[in-house]
Structure 1
Amino acid sequence: MISKRRRAFHASNHNSNVPGVEPQFLLGNLLQSGALSGKPYFQIFSDYQEKYGDIFKYRFGPHSVVAFNRLDHVQYIFAHRHIYDHAKLASETFSLLTPNGLIALTGAKFKRHARVMLPMFKKSKVVPYLETVNDCTDELLLQKWRADGNEKLQTDIIRQCQDLLLCIITSIAFDYDLKTAESSSPVRLAIKEFVDNFVKILLLSGTPTIFSRLYLKFNWKYQKALVVLRKEADDIIRKERARQEKEQEIENAINTKRRNLISLLVSSLNEDVGGDYKQGLTCEELLDEILLSIVAGFETTSTVLAWFIFHMSKYPAIQEKIKEELKLHNVTKKTSLTNELLDKLEYIDCVLKEVLRFSPIMDGTLRTLVEDDQIDGVQLRKGDSVYIGLNNIHRDKRLWKLDPDQFLPERFLDTDDKNQPIWTFGGGHRACAGQDLARFELKVICTRLMQSLTFLDSGDEQNSGGFLQRITCLPKRLAVYCKFD
């Protein structure tokens, strides 16, 4: 049971009773645990929990964290937002790439950016883009797979999922069309380079930041990509400002104003936020938010989609149940999806929840204390950081009534597991800003795919799963046949 907060401690080593591995100089536990050699973090923290229990220490280089891995722990931390704020390690890492991006900010600056950014990612704002998501799915996946025929083994599913979600986020947020962009176009190549380096820097989290700074500074490919992306962002902003200025001349402008992200961002431009005026974003801040939105807008969602395809190929009975639900609501491959129709489809919601629970997409999240506290007898002080083992909670046999090591979407229908929360997108006031958009995109895409085809297992090593650690944890080996119904 979690004890009451205490604001002052007298012990010199205030959490010396917490077990863990003795850290190495500079590297902490990164080398010992296998993180630097590519071992997925969810496996690392699962192993540590098995060895040391629900509470243990881990060092990301010089950054020490206390890991908490029970449901009451995560509920307590997320509920006490005034104590547990955005992690210092996360801010330092993301500041290397997008120093003015929402995910790198804390305090008053975070609140100012949040007032601009968060409203545009709510479900009510993204539902009008259902047709955009549907069209992108048709053009980038279904048309390609249909042209390839049922006999071709699709071995590049992960990249195809990433291309699809990149197309969707740029269409929704910035009115930028990547469906017809050549694979060798400067913008597409620049996005890929930026994301690849984003991954590398995140995997180096915890090592001295000077290494990451020097790597980025002297990486000419990354610097070139940054120039291309900033120029593209500048062009988007310039065109949007011109459009808004022209629109002001129209008598009914307020009724014709578009509600995409870029229109909101440009409307918020204010170069005087450093003074007494505390609203809006500067141009530099806006550019970082665009870059961050490109990465955050597709990485997690494309990973979930890849895992969905993998699991469907392994569980044909579950695919069949999805298709039975579609038939029940008279949904054929020619049926146009609407938000009202999607709301009726309950089983596919259960499947997507189970994908989020079962697949180790995100291992956990971090918080840093802004005042002293105590959890389960562990003394924590202002400035300490805690790690919340979200994936460990998703697999906690003490929590789930149906075997958590089994892929069972039915657990979310009429069982005791039905109302258990899924934490893939985090929780509390620093939860993923785009989770409503991600969930909406996933339901539209997966429903559209199930309207038209069935995923078949290749039956060999090529579709054996495994794990590849990037920003998220991807299936390492994914290859399926796409059989059109």
Structure 2
Amino acid sequence: MFAVLVCFVILIIWSWMRMRRPSMPPVFPGALPLIGNSHQLIGDRILVTDPDDCLVVSNASLNKPYVYKFAEKFLGSGLITSDEPIWKPHRKLLNPTFNQQIMNTFLHEMNVQARSLVSKLSVEVDKEPFDPRSYFVDFTLSTVSRTSLGLNAEDQTIISNEYADMVEEIFGIYCKRFQKVWLHLNSFYNFSPMKWREEQLIKSLRKILDNVIRKRRVELKQIKHSEEIYDLSSGKFTPALDHMLNMADEQNAFTDQEIREHIDTLIAAAYDTSSTTLTYAMILLGSNPHVQEKVLKEIEEVLQDKNADITKDNLQNLVYLDAVVKETLRLYSAIPFIGRKVEFPVKLKKYTLEPGTTCILLLQSIHLDPKLWGPDVNEFKPERWLDPDTLPKNPNAYVPFGIGRRYCIGRLYTTYVMKTALAHMLRRFVISGDITKVVTQYDVVLKPVIGHHISLKLRT
């Protein structure tokens, strides 16, 4: 017993001295020996807010900390949870699926879904303020289902309803596990009711997507390469699933399980972030009528026909709308921070991170740093994006899609979806809202939970 006590005391002293090593950054306030900040649900982590240091850490440490592994059974080798040896070759294979040329082929379907969104929102005209997020969830799920999976209407409904509800629930489980430190240990979590429910949900989610993949694989075998592209009256596109299945057959690049995990990741990541950012954009526009009118004026100038679809040329010319989207993402980044696992010494400007450190890159702090963005950093000012002199000189000051080599593969897709949806909605509706009443909460993304309702009126 005495020997055990001595070893325990030595361990406490060692852990305390390690936290106070001069080369390391100062620990987060409230850290205790041995347990660090775990009692504060933060853990022994280093918080990084300098944009240049964030880039160094992100590029030097490509692997994620253990909390990302909570979703590993669900998302597996997907781009969010996979370690570098899997992530690197898979990311290289998937990059062409999300380039600008492919995004342009998705625009017709994005317009179709945006028009459907406007139609559904019409029932809220001249009514009491309402929560628009459910409409945006349905819109983004329908869009990503069509462009990623090429689903028909029946299968798309399954994704929009059953699949979406289950994904929402499973991410809720991961959030609850994160908040309860003792459940970080598998020995405790494996005996909890949450673990049992997680396995049920994963089984059901796998069944849905496995059926979709099997069905599409059979369809692809029945058609020739010249007919592989969907013909949608005024646009053609090849769903991301088709690209992956073709790579699997021709290059032996993916297994069916890996394809499913990538599709799970794409859908789960896209619908939550895009729908949440659209919600913030609508509240900000509703709170700033002068900005709303300026966007509308630009849309009317670029699209002479008020019923015309948005084209790739239109998107390039809608520069003020683009500024609105960027300013929304700056003020309300859906992913306010990301984690990295430091596995070898990383030299920063003032400190050196040692192996075994968990590093949290505070992206939202970069976006709200007055030294970078000026004294009006907290104001919604899309105009700042139109004048290079008003923007930070540091290229790492704007990082809503992550930073470094492991940035979000869907950043262009998200921008296309948002600009297309906003253009259609602003042509049809006058929006009212009050951003000063919004209260946010972080689970998987930074969501508005109070004060985010908007009102709609028809434009005359």
SS in 1 for 2:371: coil
User: 2:143 corresponds to which letter in structure 1?
Assistant: I
Deviates more, 1:348-357 or 1:384-393: 384-393
User: 1:126 corresponds to which letter in structure 2?
Assistant: M
User: 1:138 corresponds to which letter in structure 2?
Assistant: R
Structure 2 match to 1:43? none
SS in 1 for 2:372: coil
2:48 aligned with 1:68, yes or no?
Answer: yes
State the shift of 1:388 in Å. Answer: 1.4
User: C-alpha offsets along residues 357-389 of structure 1, whole Å, 9 cap, x if unaligned?
Assistant: 112422211222332122133222233232211
User: C-alpha offsets along residues 366-422 of structure 1, whole Å, 9 cap, x if unaligned?
Assistant: 222332122133222233232211111111111113510111111111152336642
Structure 2 match to 1:158? 133
Structure 2 match to 1:142? 118
Deviates more, 1:161-170 or 1:19-28: 19-28
Write the mapping of 1:359-438 to structure 2, written as runs, cut at 5 A: 359-401=332-374, 403-418=376-391, 421-438=397-414
2:322 aligned with 1:349, yes or no?
Answer: yes
Structure 2 match to 1:20? 28
Q: Give the alignment's TM-score, normalised by structure 2.
A: 0.84
State the shift of 1:97 in Å. Answer: 2.7
Q: How many residue pairs align between the two structures?
A: 428
Does structure 1 retain, via aligned residues, the 8 Å contact 2:106–2:237? Answer: no
* Aligned counterparts of 1:369 and 1:318: Cα–Cα separation in 2: 43
2:424 aligned with 1:448, yes or no?
Answer: yes
Does structure 2 retain, via aligned residues, the 8 Å contact 1:90–1:104? Answer: no
Q: Give the alignment's TM-score, normalised by structure 1.
A: 0.80
Deviates more, 1:12-21 or 1:162-171: 12-21
Deviates more, 1:324-333 or 1:344-353: 324-333
Structure 2 unaligned spans of 5+: 1-16, 231-235
* Aligned counterparts of 1:179 and 1:241: Cα–Cα separation in 2: 18
User: 2:417 corresponds to which letter in structure 1?
Assistant: E
SS in 2 for 1:388: strand
Write the mapping of 1:8-407 to structure 2, written as runs, cut at 5 A: 14=21, 18-23=26-31, 29=37, 32=40, 59-60=42-43, 64-78=44-58, 81=59, 83-139=60-116, 141-148=117-124, 150-177=125-152, 188-202=161-175, 204-205=177-178, 207=181, 208-210=184-186, 211-215=188-192, 218-220=195-197, 222-248=198-224, 252=226, 259-269=238-248, 280-401=253-374, 403-407=376-380
* Aligned counterparts of 1:180 and 1:85: Cα–Cα separation in 2: 36
User: 1:260 corresponds to which letter in structure 2?
Assistant: P
* Aligned counterparts of 1:342 and 1:187: Cα–Cα separation in 2: 27
State the shift of 1:278 in Å. Answer: 9.1
* Aligned counterparts of 2:332 and 2:229: Cα–Cα separation in 1: 43
User: C-alpha offsets along residues 323-346 of structure 1, whole Å, 9 cap, x if unaligned?
Assistant: 111232244531222111121111
Does structure 1 retain, via aligned residues, the 8 Å contact 2:431–2:454? Answer: yes
* Aligned counterparts of 1:215 and 1:118: Cα–Cα separation in 2: 39
SS in 1 for 2:422: helix
* Aligned counterparts of 2:204 and 2:381: Cα–Cα separation in 1: 45
- Matched-pair identity in %: 19
Does structure 1 retain, via aligned residues, the 8 Å contact 2:248–2:255? Answer: yes
Does structure 2 retain, via aligned residues, the 8 Å contact 1:216–1:223? Answer: no
* Aligned counterparts of 1:305 and 1:331: Cα–Cα separation in 2: 25
Structure 2 match to 1:480? 454
State the shift of 1:170 in Å. Answer: 0.7
SS in 1 for 2:162: helix
Structure 1 unaligned spans of 5+: 1-10, 36-58, 271-276
* Aligned counterparts of 2:151 and 2:178: Cα–Cα separation in 1: 32
Residues 1:29 and 1:155: Cα distance change in structure 2 (over 3 Å): farther
Deviates more, 1:310-319 or 1:367-376: 367-376
User: 1:450 corresponds to which letter in structure 2?
Assistant: L
Does structure 1 retain, via aligned residues, the 8 Å contact 2:24–2:353? Answer: no
User: C-alpha offsets along residues 91-138 of structure 1, whole Å, 9 cap, x if unaligned?
Assistant: 423314322222111232222322333321223212211121111122
Instruction: Pick the structure with more helix per residue.
Output: 2
* Aligned counterparts of 2:32 and 2:174: Cα–Cα separation in 1: 20
